[in-house]
Chains A and B, each alone.
Chain A
């Protein structure tokens, strides 16, 4: 088959703009349906089981109850959430603030130390063994000491969250420096880079994707630890709300808090991913589905 014929076929086979738009819209609808199929099915089954009265409603309240409670938690309009009515925003702001404060100090310090460990054998020998041992201590094991040192309040919470955020940031940024392609390093040397240029224009940009992966993990851990910290060390936040509602047997509020934490964690991850994709367009293009 001649190439001219092939091109002609392509030309004839090209759908007009309207048809293409329609096809794209239907594809978007299909993927939207797929996204919601599983959680939707879970909610429906849960609702039916809860409403059927097979077990006490208070143990596992159906989604409709949780929606009503969540509405009151946020708005304070119906009194459905009782003593917690209208407290959602305060708790959410407290948790979010702690997460970001901990993420900032832990992520920043971790990234800095990780880069230095990757760059310098001396720094590696000084700090890496300590990091490797300490990262195996679960952050929850630090709770007693942090309460003794900082007392009850924001400080131990932010300390614990930062500690959790610290380790993935260290490990990934070290890896980012180490995985620099040898050929790129040689090419940069050949071009005549001095040490400063090698660091700023070759090593650090090459390490950025790994650094961002570390920060993404740090953000995930920060949301795990804020709940732990708020159960044990503070009297506000979604973790505190969850634990307090548990004491008062308000499982609807417990589940509403869990849902809030899940959504906020998801949104925080989207923020990190958004920043990463803006900063590292090249890396997105290189990845499998770019």
Chain B
């Protein structure tokens, strides 16, 4: 339960004298328990946007607010699921999930999340509780990572290509799993993905971004009924939306490539 607002956010990276505008004039409002996916060609600033909400980066101008308060640093109210599951390799699965709640900052918060054992069961890892992350498959690791974030009960869930490193079948299963979890316990979700089908399948709204400089190109509401199941991906409406978004993203990618070629020639 939380609301995220980006107000005229601009982010400029400077390295060795070169200035790169990653984001410019981004206005975006994500409602309570809304599931928003951000898609766009690589280099359009979608990960930067997520890092700004997470508090890993600071906007050059503009403000990022969560429930009205400006974001200044990372914190447990905004749980992040990374592409490479960020599990501590020296802790077992159980210890990883118990890590967040044991921190002083979280003992001071009221956390309404299931206990460690319940979460282990929910993500199907009860039998692997005492295994180390290195002993798990990619999909299991990502489920453990999701559990370790859910356990600190963040109002906002930020996911940066969470299934990008998984094989196609596992990815598809993980999408269904994420849908189930989200339907049981709704949260505000911001999902960055390069998989347009995934974005349409999961989200309430899609934000299509354009690059050079990174900005919001189009916002597409996804009015597909919930709860959604795999069969939805064969429905004409799903396909129509996916094709529309794919066309826009491809257009933008072509434009970005042209800009890059031009600046390389100059």
A→B interface (CB under 8 Å) = 183-184, 186-187, 189-194, 197, 201-202, 205-206, 208, 280-283, 285-286, 290
Chain A residues with Cβ below 8 Å from B129 are none
Chain A residues with Cβ below 8 Å from B135 are 285
Chain B residues with Cβ below 8 Å from A190 are 54-55, 74-76, 78-80
Chain A residues with Cβ below 8 Å from B106 are 191-192
User: What mask results when residues 29 to 65 of chain B are scored 1 for a CB within 8 Å of chain A, else 0?
Assistant: 0000000000000000000000000111000000000
Among A186, A194, A280, A290, the residue within 8 A (CB) of B105 is A194
In this complex, what residue of B is CB-closest to A286? Answer: B134
Among B78-119, those with CB < 8 Å from A are: 78-80, 82, 84, 86, 88-91, 99-100, 103-106
Q: Are B132 and A189 in contact (CB under 8 A)?
A: no
Chain B residues with Cβ below 8 Å from A187 are 80, 82, 86
Q: Are B80 and A186 in contact (CB under 8 A)?
A: yes
In this complex, what residue of B is CB-closest to A191? Answer: B100
Q: Are B90 and A191 in contact (CB under 8 A)?
A: no
- Taking the closest CB of chain B, its distance from the CB of A205, in whole angstroms, is 5
| Given the contacts A186-B80, A285-B132, A285-B134, A280 and B103 also touching, CB distance less than 8 Å | no
Interface of A, secondary structure class, is helix
Most central of B73, B89, B90, B134 by chain A CB within 10 Å: B90
Q: Are B88 and A205 in contact (CB under 8 A)?
A: yes
| Given the contacts A183-B82, A192-B75, A197 and B103 also touching, CB distance less than 8 Å | yes
In this complex, what residue of B is CB-closest to A187? Answer: B86
Chain B residues with Cβ below 8 Å from A286 are 89, 132, 134
| Given the contacts A183-B82, A186-B80, A285-B135, A191 and B54 also touching, CB distance less than 8 Å | no
Q: How large is the interface on B (under 10, 10 to 19, 20 to 34, 35 or more residues)?
A: 20 to 34
Residue B152 CB within 8 A of the other chain: yes
Among A184, A186, A281, the residue within 8 A (CB) of B88 is A184
- Known pairs A281-B132, A283-B89, A285-B134; list 16 more (Cβ under 8 Å): A184-B86, A186-B82, A187-B82, A190-B54, A190-B78, A191-B76, A191-B99, A191-B103, A191-B106, A191-B152, A192-B105, A192-B152, A194-B105, A201-B99, A282-B89, A282-B90
Q: Are A194 and B88 in contact (CB under 8 A)?
A: no
B→A interface (CB under 8 Å) = 54-56, 73-76, 78-80, 82, 84, 86, 88-91, 99-100, 103-106, 132, 134-135, 148, 152
Q: Are A186 and B90 in contact (CB under 8 A)?
A: no
- Taking the closest CB of chain A, its distance from the CB of B51, in whole angstroms, is 9
- Taking the closest CB of chain A, its distance from the CB of B81, in whole angstroms, is 9
Inter-chain CA distance A286–B91, complex, in Å, is 12
- Taking the closest CB of chain A, its distance from the CB of B58, in whole angstroms, is 14
Among B79, B89, B105, the residue within 8 A (CB) of A193 is B105
Residue contacts A-B, CB under 8 angstroms, 13 given: A184-B86, A186-B80, A187-B82, A189-B73, A191-B106, A192-B75, A192-B100, A192-B103, A193-B105, A206-B88, A283-B89, A285-B132, A285-B134
Chain A residues with Cβ below 8 Å from B82 are 183, 186-187
Chain A residues with Cβ below 8 Å from B75 are 190, 192
Chain A residues with Cβ below 8 Å from B134 are 282, 285-286, 290
Inter-chain CA distance A208–B56, complex, in Å, is 26
Inter-chain CA distance A194–B104, complex, in Å, is 8
Chain B residues with Cβ below 8 Å from A186 are 54, 56, 74, 80, 82, 86
Chain A residues with Cβ below 8 Å from B86 are 183-184, 186-187
Chain A residues with Cβ below 8 Å from B80 are 186-187, 190
Inter-chain CA distance A234–B82, complex, in Å, is 58
In this complex, what residue of A is CB-closest to B135? Answer: A285
Chain A residues with Cβ below 8 Å from B54 are 186, 190
Chain A residues with Cβ below 8 Å from B73 are 189
Q: Are B74 and A280 in contact (CB under 8 A)?
A: no
Chain A residues with Cβ below 8 Å from B89 are 282-283, 286
Q: Are A193 and B132 in contact (CB under 8 A)?
A: no
Q: Are B90 and A205 in contact (CB under 8 A)?
A: yes
Inter-chain CA distance A223–B99, complex, in Å, is 41
Inter-chain CA distance A183–B54, complex, in Å, is 13
| Given the contacts A191-B76, A194-B104, A206 and B56 also touching, CB distance less than 8 Å | no
Inter-chain CA distance A202–B56, complex, in Å, is 18
In this complex, what residue of A is CB-closest to B103? Answer: A192
Inter-chain CA distance A186–B51, complex, in Å, is 10
Inter-chain CA distance A7–B180, complex, in Å, is 32
In this complex, what residue of A is CB-closest to B51? Answer: A186
Chain A residues with Cβ below 8 Å from B100 are 191-192
**Shortest 5 CB-CB distances between A and B: which pairs?**
A187-B86, A192-B105, A192-B76, A189-B74, A286-B134
Chain A residues with Cβ below 8 Å from B132 are 281-282, 285-286
Chain B residues with Cβ below 8 Å from A281 are 132
Most central of A191, A201, A205, A206 by chain B CB within 10 Å: A191
- Taking the closest CB of chain A, its distance from the CB of B135, in whole angstroms, is 6
